[in-house]
A = this chain, B = another copy of it.
Amino acid sequence: MRTYLDCFPCFLNQALRAARIATDDEEKIKKVLDEVGMMIRDIPLESTPPESARLIYHKIGEITGNLDPYREIKSESTQKALSLYSCLKSHVEKSNDSLLAAIRIAIAGNVIDFGANWDFDLNVEVAEILDKDFAILDYNEFKDRFNEAHEILYIGDNAGECVFDRILIEEMKKPVIYVVRDVPIINDATYEDAEQAGIDKVATILSSGTDAPGTIFKTCSAEFKKVYNNSRFIISKGQGNYEALSNEMGPIFFLLKVKCHVIANNIGVDKGDIVLKAKQRSTR
């Protein structure tokens, strides 16, 4: 997905929020705003938003000296999500369509996003999503592809959200490769975060090699790209991965909660909607 004009004020807002988490020093925070302001002219509308977010969050690290401002928040998110695990499991078990229920739970976990979101009550949002209609639900395509698949490539998004992903992984009962970011960026899940969520017990964890808050191919490792290109069934979680992969080759199933107007307009749904959107291999 390209960068839209509305992404620019959002970049500055994200930079301010992240800088405030990274430091209390107002001068350093102002310096972050100065530098991010100057970066705007070098951000082409043709680039994907996570490409720019990558550079912006790196700049925040450079100025504040804090390379992982969301470390504590990530760990808290995982603990909070783990406390919901049994309840969510029993929700799946009681459902008429347990696969769809688990997909819905995986999307519910996508509210834990400190890039696009800020104020959210996990319990409230999860409860809402469990009752919400899908704006796009390519479930038949998902099931057809899923039934044929021998292995699933599951591209994770945020820490904490991994716990919700684990429920879908457990429900799918097929071998899963679970993809994480290579290093900390915003609250995105790294190897450590996935491990804390217990993903290592149910899947093989693989780093995409990227240091961006989205799976931007040119920043990914050769190993990941090989795995991706050989995959017959890919699940992509969240906005950052959608933004990075929406123009890449399928077959991908995008699972996300739409948290901003820009992505809502791009997909053709409303902000707040939940989506299971298929993209076939042949389209780009």
Contacts and interface: CB of A to CB of B under 8 A. Distances in A.
A8 B16 CA distance: 9
A40 interface: yes
Interface in A1-27: 5-6, 8-9, 12-13, 16, 20, 26
Interface in A231-266: none
Interface string A192-220: 00000000000000000000000000000
B5 A9 contact: no
A6 B16 contact: yes
Contact of A16 (B9, B13, B16, B41): B9
Contact of A12 (B9, B20, B35, B39): B9
A40 B29 CA distance: 12
B29 A33 contact: no
A72 to B, nearest CB: 22
Nearest to A32: B5
A175 interface: no
Interface in A38-83: 38-41, 45
Contacts of A35: 41
A91 interface: no
A272 interface: no
A48 to B, nearest CB: 16
A197 to B, nearest CB: 32
A20 to B, nearest CB: 8
A122 B86 CA distance: 49
Given A33-B40, A38-B37, A12 B8 contact: yes
Contacts of A281: none
A168 B144 CA distance: 69
A34 interface: yes
A209 B237 CA distance: 55
A30 interface: yes
A36 B30 CA distance: 15
B40 A41 contact: no
Contacts of A34: 40-41
4 pairs of A and B residues whose beta carbons are closest in the complex: A37-B40, A34-B41, A37-B37, A9-B13
7 contacts: A5-B16, A5-B29, A9-B12, A9-B16, A26-B45, A33-B40, A36-B37
